[in-house]
Structure formats: structure tokens, C-alpha cells
Amino acid sequence: MGILFRLLAPKPVKKIRHAAHPVRNVKRAVTPKPVRQVRRAAHPVSMVERGIENGIVHAVRGSGGRTAARRAGGTGTVYYGTCGVHHRRPDTAANCKDCAAVDALQAARAAAAEAARVEATRRAAAESARAEAARVRREVILADHKRAAETNRKQHATARTSSWKTWATPR
Ligand SMILES: [Zn+2]
């Protein structure tokens, strides 16, 4: 069953489909477990991916999410673990390799997200420091230009006055 169907199809439709294909359930019951395990192993979806898929479906469909212990709807049964298999006891979940793999993957993803967040913060701080340094540099240059312009204006004024004095002063 594809993840899209599981996410999108309303639950009653799934129940109808289950009811409409009793043969499959009979076949499932009759098929020996080793055969089923081999078939599942041949399927391209790994157990870790299946666990994550189950987590996504459960989170979206609202069947309890990924908490360590989740309660099945109305039955009062508490399930444990994150791999998608309904472990009935916490120690079974604690010993489950698939649960450990899902937990490790989620922890790795959380660590990667945290590292990315720290790196983004560092880059933003470095960028704002660069912008501030550039602003200070521009202000220094502008102040230099203003000082130079003022000096220039004074020199011109002095030159004009002195030349006028030279011209106007009787010899
Ligand atoms: Zn498990």
C-alpha cells in the first residue's frame, strides 16, 4: 500500500477495501511467516523507512503520533516504540533494532537541524558585523571628503580675498 493512498484515502474507504478483499486476509493468514518475511525483505521499502512512513501516516491521520507510548483508539491498549510495529511492552520496544534505528535517525536529523540553525546564526552575525564595518568605513571616508572640501573652500576664499586685496591696494 503506497504512502500517498494511506495519507489521502479516508479511513472508511480503507475499511471498505479491507472488507472487499477478504481473500487477501485469508491469504495473509495462510501464508507462512518466513515467506512473508522474505517478501517484505524483497520490498524496496526498508524497515527504517517503513517506520518513518508509519510515523508520518500516524501523525497526519491522528492515530497518536510518535510518542513512546500511544493509545489505540478506544481499545485502551497502550503501544510502545517508534518503528511502526505496535510493541505491547516498553522493554520489547527498548530491545527493537528498528525502533533504535528510527530513534537514531530522528536524533541525527535533529542534530543536523540544530547544527544548521547554529551555522545560520553564526553567518547572520558575521554578515551584520561585515555590514557594520562597511558602514563605519563609509562614514570615515565621507568625513575625510567633507574635511577636504572644507579646506579647499577656505583656501579658495583666502586666495580670492588676497588677490582682491593685491589688486585693490594702492601701490
Ligand atoms: Zn520497534
What is the rounded distance in angstroms from the CA atom of residue 6 to the CA atom of residue 1?
7
**pLDDT, tens digit (0-9, with 9 covering 90-100), for 78-109:** 899 999 999 999 999 999 999 999 999 999 99
CA atoms of 7 and 4, how far apart (whole Å): 5
Confidence (pLDDT) at 152: 94
Residue showing cell 543536523: 112
- Residue bearing cell 561585515: 130
C-alpha of residue 82 to centroid of ligand 1, in Å: 6
Whether 88 and 77 have beta carbons less than 8 Å apart is answered as: yes
Q: H-type helices in 9-96, by residue range? A: 11-20, 22-30, 33-42, 47-61, 90-95
Provide the pLDDT for residue 66.
Answer: 45
Signed CA dihedral, 97, 74, 13, 55: sign only:
negative
Residue 65: the pLDDT is 43
Distance 53 CA to ligand 1 centre (A): 13
Contact partners, residue 105, CB within 8 Å, separation at least 6:
48, 52
Q: How far is the CA of 35 from the centre of ligand 1 (A)?
A: 21
pLDDT at res. 111: 98
63 or 46: which leads in pLDDT = 46
Q: Establish how many alpha carbons lie within 13 A of residue 109's alpha carbon, considering only the half-sphere containing its beta carbon.
A: 7
Quote the pLDDT of residue 61. 57
Label residue 159 by pLDDT band (50, 70, 90).
Answer: confident
Higher pLDDT, residue 58 or 112: 112
d(CA 134, CA 148): 21
For the record, the C-alpha cell of 117 comes out as 540553525
The rounded Å distance from CA 70 to ligand 1 centre is 13
Q: What is the mean pLDDT of the chain?
A: 77
Residue 47 CA to ligand 1 center (angstroms) comes to: 10
Question: Domain limits of the chain?
Answer: 3-113
pLDDT number for residue 158? 83
- Residues with CB under 5 Å of ion ligand 1 are 81, 83, 85, 96, 98-99
pTM greater than 0.75: no
Ligand 1 centroid–CA 80 distance in Å is 8
Least confident of 17-26, 68-77, 119-128, 151-160: 17-26
Please tell me the distance between residue 106's alpha carbon and the centre of ligand 1 in angstroms.
Answer: 14
